């Protein structure tokens, strides 16, 4: 490639002319397709910001100037332009580049991200500290129209409108969140983009207003009001202007010279600027342009056909959740499905296809989703809020203050609980037990397989109190699914096999690991091991655990969650309250650190969430000798 191998820094980029930049943009797109076809990743968002990223690095000078990418899934091009082209093929791989901006990865990554709608707040922070220091660099937030639906973005806009500091907000408007974008703001942007009267150049219109004659005081005021309402009708972006930002746009986000122009022209303005850039998600790769939702975050695929290479073999937990929710919706018309911009990811889309009036996509607004659900539940409905474990972190206070305190029977379906793999530390769902289990009135549970998920969902809707079900990303175990849904007794675990010496007390997907470990311990050391499916983290099955502890020399808790505040911690707290022999308990969980990105198999092995490690822990604690060795 002509430029890709040569551009090692933003300085190199500045030596290119417009024609060369265009050639370079093709090379970048080709590389993006090649790498994501191999590794998977956020292809469509990145294809959409090739010209925008080039223009930003052409006009501005990172790391002095700060570019803050919202969510950060569209920062691959930025990575390529800031000296990371050669490593791009390692992206999202264990030990390789992160799929998101990361301060520890490069000085050009001003602010880490992964969760949505943080960029404007971060930019305001950097603008304020710049001014405190008397420095002069620019701060630029790049935010998508999807991310603009998040409450934090509005909080920050409100604040900067008041503060009036020099900074730039670039709205990358492609009409898509992951699914088509929703909400009043999205409709407003649609009008700005598509109404021909809006397209008139704003400066012309303002000039025209200045020419409207004004006679007398009353007339003046009336004319002023008229001007205001005319302006409202004709000038794009009035909403942002009213908030105190200077609006520019809409700008064609694939026209490099238009982008460079608007960035140059706004560079020195000493106020908050809002530049509305219109892009096409998936631009330049036909399959991604056609189905930008599928190519938002895609698994490895065939470049020629756009077909995903390893289609799933078994239904995922999400599939089973969606089908069960539909079944429950059929049985009870009070059942509602709520998603925060993750309709496909959570399966709420499927429920919506069946019950269009009872499904609600609120945009990237987890906090709003939870409080809204609280009201619905208090008003006699049965809302099921399906939010990934990691994104529900956003709504902690709403869970405490609006749901639990009022004992609103909201059901939380926490998809992607546990390690999620390639997206890494921003996306691993490993804190949910800790942030949920200490809240009064909450029920917290995890199914051992997708069939148990069905019963848990049904049970959660029966308990008449807030209840959370956490389940992992990806395929289920392929177990048969019971048609009839049964009520699981609240707070009761399940003994899967009764043995002696050692009891493995596992939660959720770790039950399978416990069963494998039990088999290994039997085969290698002749032990018959007890395996318990805990089912509930709250309330715990106190009687069962106390009784089982007294029967065994060693009890090992196993969970796909951080150690602090998790399942094992709950078990230890409870046992200690009862004065039981807590020294017999050993916990296997994730350590007190952020777990990096990489394939889940690699991560699970590294962090000991595998049968071999369970065996090793048991062997060490019990000081076991292998049977064969013992005989020799």
Ligand X SMILES: Cc1ncc(C[n+]2csc(CCOP(=O)(O)OP(=O)(O)O)c2C)c(N)n1
Q: Would you please indicate which residues are annotated as catalytic (active-site) residues?
A: 281, 366, 394
Smallest separation, CB 317 to ligand X (Å): 18
Interface stretch with ligand X, choices 131-139, 176-184, 412-420, 470-478 (CB under 6 A): 176-184
Q: Which of 144, 337, 424, 425 binds ligand X (CB under 6 A)?
A: 144
CA distances from 345 to 386, 414, 429, 456, 557 (A): 9, 11, 14, 20, 30
- Please answer whether residues 603 and 94 qualify as being in contact, where contact means their C-beta atoms are separated by less than 8 angstroms: yes
- Count residues near ligand X (CB under 6 A): 25
- Please answer whether residues 28 and 77 qualify as being in contact, where contact means their C-beta atoms are separated by less than 8 angstroms: yes
Alpha-carbon distance 44 to 294, whole Å?
9
Q: Which of 39, 53, 116, 316 binds ligand X (CB under 6 A)?
A: 116
Smallest separation, CB 118 to ligand X (Å): 9
Max Cα distance, the chain (Å): 111
Smallest separation, CB 292 to ligand X (Å): 8
146 touches ligand X (CB under 6 A): yes
Interface stretch with ligand X, choices 336-344, 428-436, 473-481, 508-516 (CB under 6 A): 336-344
Residue 479 is given by DSSP the state: P
Q: Which of 55, 77, 120, 147 binds ligand X (CB under 6 A)?
A: 147
Alpha-carbon distance 479 to 477, whole Å?
6
For every residue of 410-463, DSSP letters joined together read PEEEEES-B---TTGGGT-B-SHHHHHTTSTT-EEE--SSHHHHHHHHHHHHHS
459 touches ligand X (CB under 6 A): no
Under rule CB under 6 A, which residues in 250-289 are in contact with ligand X? 281
Helices (H) and strands (E) in the chain, counts: 28, 17
Smallest separation, CB 539 to ligand X (Å): 30
Q: Which of 341, 395, 603, 614 binds ligand X (CB under 6 A)?
A: 341
When the beta carbons of 152 and 529 are compared against ligand X, the nearer one is 152
Alpha-carbon distance 523 to 225, whole Å?
85
Smallest separation, CB 405 to ligand X (Å): 23
176 touches ligand X (CB under 6 A): yes
Edge to edge, the sheet with strand 494-497 lists 494-497, 530-533, 501-506, 552-562, 585-590
Q: Which of 364, 529, 534, 571 binds ligand X (CB under 6 A)?
A: 364
Q: Which of 138, 177, 367, 533 binds ligand X (CB under 6 A)?
A: 177
> 521: helix, coil or strand?
helix
Exposure class string for 333-369: b at 16+ Cβ within 10 A, else e: ebbbbbbbbbbbbbbbbbbbebbeebbbbbbbbbbbb
78 touches ligand X (CB under 6 A): no
Q: How far apart are the first and last CA of the chain?
A: 64
When the beta carbons of 190 and 327 are compared against ligand X, the nearer one is 190
Interface stretch with ligand X, choices 71-79, 410-418, 478-486, 529-537 (CB under 6 A): 71-79
Smallest separation, CB 501 to ligand X (Å): 45
Smallest separation, CB 535 to ligand X (Å): 28
- 222 C-beta neighbours (distance < 10 Å), count: 12
Under rule CB under 6 A, which residues in 283-312 are in contact with ligand X? 296
Q: Which of 71, 348, 420, 590 binds ligand X (CB under 6 A)?
A: 71
When the beta carbons of 98 and 174 are compared against ligand X, the nearer one is 174
Strands 167-173 and 246-252: unpaired
The alpha carbon torsion through 254, 257, 258, 261 (nearest 10 deg) reads 140
Q: Which of 36, 62, 74, 600 binds ligand X (CB under 6 A)?
A: 74
Alpha-carbon distance 383 to 598, whole Å?
34
Please list, in sequence order, all residues whose beta carbon lies within 8 angstroms of the beta carbon of residue 134, skipping any fewer than 6 positions away.
none
When the beta carbons of 367 and 459 are compared against ligand X, the nearer one is 367
Smallest separation, CB 147 to ligand X (Å): 3
Interface stretch with ligand X, choices 282-290, 338-346, 506-514, 529-537 (CB under 6 A): 338-346
When the beta carbons of 236 and 363 are compared against ligand X, the nearer one is 363
365 touches ligand X (CB under 6 A): no
Please list, in sequence order, all residues whose beta carbon lies within 8 angstroms of the beta carbon of residue 287, skipping any fewer than 6 positions away.
294, 295, 301, 305, 306
139 touches ligand X (CB under 6 A): no
Interface stretch with ligand X, choices 12-20, 52-60, 174-182, 478-486 (CB under 6 A): 174-182
Interface stretch with ligand X, choices 121-129, 171-179, 353-361, 565-573 (CB under 6 A): 171-179
For every residue of 352-408, DSSP letters joined together read HHH-GGGEEE--S-HHHHHHHHHHHHHTT-EEEEEEEHHHHGGGHHIIIIIIITTT-
The binding site for ligand X (CB under 6 A) comprises 45, 48, 71, 73-74, 115-116, 144-147, 172, 174, 176-178, 281, 296, 340-342, 364, 366, 391, 394
């Amino acid at each position: 490639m002509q430029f890709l191998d040569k551009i090692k820094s933003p300085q190199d980029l500045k030596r290119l002319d417009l024609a060369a930049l265009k050639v370079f943009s093709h090379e970048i797109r080709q590389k993006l397709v090649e790498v994501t076809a191999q590794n998977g990743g956020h292809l469509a968002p990145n294809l959409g910001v090739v010209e925008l990223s080039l223009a930003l690095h052409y006009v501005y000078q990172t790391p002095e100037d700060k570019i803050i990418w919202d969510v950060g899934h569209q920062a691959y091009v930025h990575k390529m332009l800031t000296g990371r082209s050669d490593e791009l093929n390692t992206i999202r791989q264990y030990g390789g580049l992160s799929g998101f901006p990361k301060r520890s990865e490069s000085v050009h990554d001003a602010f880490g991200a992964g969760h949505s709608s943080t960029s404007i707040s971060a930019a305001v922070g950097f603008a304020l500290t710049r001014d405190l220091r008397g420095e002069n660099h620019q701060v630029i937030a790049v935010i998508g129209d999807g991310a603009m639906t998040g409450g934090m973005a509005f909080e920050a806009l409100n604040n900067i409108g008041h503060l009036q500091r020099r900074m730039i907000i670039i709205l990358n408007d492609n009409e898509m969140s992951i699914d088509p974008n929703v909400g009043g703001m999205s409709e407003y942007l649609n009008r700005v983009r598509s109404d021909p009267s809006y397209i008139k150049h704003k400066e012309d219109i303002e000039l025209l207003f200045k020419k409207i004659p004004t006679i007398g005081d009353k007339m003046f005021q009336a004319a002023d009001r008229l001007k205001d309402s005319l302006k409202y009708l004709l000038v794009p972006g009035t909403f942002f202007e009213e908030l105190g930002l200077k609006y520019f746009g809409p700008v064609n986000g694939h026209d490099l010279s238009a982008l460079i122009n608007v960035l140059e022209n706004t560079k020195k303005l000493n106020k908050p600027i809002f530049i509305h850039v219109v892009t096409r998600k998936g631009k330049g790769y036909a399959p991604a342009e056609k189905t930008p939702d599928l190519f938002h975050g895609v698994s490895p695929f065939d470049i020629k056909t756009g077909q995903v290479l390893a289609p799933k073999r078994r239904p995922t937990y999400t599939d089973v959740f969606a089908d069960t929710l539909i079944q429950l919706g059929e049985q009870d018309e009070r059942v509602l499905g709520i998603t925060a911009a993750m309709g496909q990811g959570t399966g709420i889309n499927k429920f919506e296809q069946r019950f269009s009036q009872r499904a609600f996509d609120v945009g990237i607004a987890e906090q709003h989703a939870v409080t809204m659900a609280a009201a619905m539940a208090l008003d006699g409905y049965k809302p099921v809020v399906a939010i990934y474990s990691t994104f529900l972190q956003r709504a902690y206070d709403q869970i405490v203050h609006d749901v639990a305190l009022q004992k609103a029977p909201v059901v939380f379906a926490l998809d992607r609980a546990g390690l999620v793999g390639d997206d890494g530390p921003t996306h691993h769902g490993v804190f949910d037990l800790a942030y949920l289990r200490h809240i009064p009135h909450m029920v917290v549970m995890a199914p051992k397989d997708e069939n148990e998920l069905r019963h848990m969902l049904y049970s959660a809707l029966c308990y008449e109190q807030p209840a959370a079900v956490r389940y992992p990303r990806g395929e289920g175990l392929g177990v048969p699914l019971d048609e009839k849904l049964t009520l699981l007794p609240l707070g009761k675990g399940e003994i899967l096999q009764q043995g002696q010496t050692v009891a493995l007390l596992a939660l959720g997907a770790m039950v399978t690991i416990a069963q494998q470990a039990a088999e290994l311990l039997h085969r290698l050391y002749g032990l018959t091991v007890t395996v318990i499916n805990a089912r509930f983290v709250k309330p715990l099955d106190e009687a069962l655990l106390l009784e089982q502890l007294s029967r065994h020399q060693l009890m090992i808790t196993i969970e796909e969650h951080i150690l602090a505040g998790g399942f094992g911690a709950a078990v230890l707290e409870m046992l200690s309250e009862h004065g039981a022999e807590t020294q017999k308990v050993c916990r296997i969980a994730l350590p007190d650190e952020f777990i990096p990105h990489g394939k889940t198999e690699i991560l699970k092995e590294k962090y000991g969430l595998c049968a071999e490690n369970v065996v090793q822990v048991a062997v060490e604690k019990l000081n076991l000798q292998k049977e064969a060795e013992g005989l020799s």
